[in-house]
Amino acid sequence: MKSQFRHVALIGKYPAAVPGALSGSVRSALEDIAHFLNAKGCEVAFERETAATAGITGYTTLEVAAIGEQCDLVLVVGGDGTMLGIGRQLARHGVPLVGINQGRLGFITDIPLDNYRSLLEPMLEGAYEEDHRSLMHARVFRDGHCVFDALAMNDVVVNRGATSGMVELRVEVDGHFVSNQRADGLIVASPTGSTAYSLSAGGPLLHPSTPGWVLVPIAPHTLSNRPLVLPDASEITIEVVSGRDASANFDMQSMASLLRGDRITVRRSEHHVRFLHPIGWTYFDTLRMKLHWNEGN
């Protein structure tokens, strides 16, 4: 059977926008996937930087925005970090994403490169599980003006400065005062991000279908400051009360040198990311594998 997806884009992890920067094995893998897609009747396009850094020619190349407008499936070859960046950019277009992992399987890139053909073929023919992930829309306000605006799939993190002590943060939910927290920082994580920094800081795991955020203090001064699960319909506001050189991070996007009085707001984005997985995929299988639960059983 031929693919139900007509126009498929390939996006790979690349270290820098330098022609030929990717290794020969990565280039070979990308070209092998492209040949496989052609054989299934798909029109294949490469993301422009991927083609340039891999030295791949002979295929249509598109910017990420054009991929969202023109393609009906995107294969992301890399790890979770690559997928996070691409997912944020393509969410507004609603195009589904499939993750092919070059190394250890990730939480959101779950098809191993050495076994991609047997898993991808039925997916191209329409046999797949669909998984929607919520995004956070975060903004930084200074003196009443928005000075930074970003989407995040994993988390929004306010951190203390590298050489300073704790930061003091005032937290509000839907305009209601919650607490003043003195800590090394504060994490607002999505269900997707609950397996990332939030988990390391003692936060709970949230199933991806849970309509919520988790608010997790980082090394709080008051030990009764515990992780708090909130509905994702809420707007969370974090104000910097004191602390030098604090910074805000939105997945891999950063804004350094927050000032006293800066306010970071986090609300649910109108967009979500669509992931496709092989038939039989469950979130619990991913957790068991990645977190090494019941090893040896």
Residue 34's nearest CA partner among 60, 62, 4 is 60
Q: Tokens standing for 273? A: 């990311």
Select which of 72, 80, 155, 184 is catalytic: 80
What DSSP designation does 183 have? Answer: E
Query: Burial letters for 10-37: b for 16+ Cβ neighbours within 10 Å, e otherwise?
Result: bbbbbeeeeeeebeeebbebbbebbebb
Question: Is 80 tagged catalytic?
Answer: yes
Give backbone dihedrals phi and psi of 158, rounded to 5 degrees, phi first.
-105, 120
Burial class (CB in 10 A: 0-12, 13-18, 19+), 173: middle
- Residue carrying the six token digits 């800590």: 183
> Could you give the strand order of the β-sheet that contains 155-159, starting from the edge strand earlier in sequence?
228-231, 212-218, 185-189, 155-159, 246-250, 253-258
Q: Which residues are catalytic?
A: 80
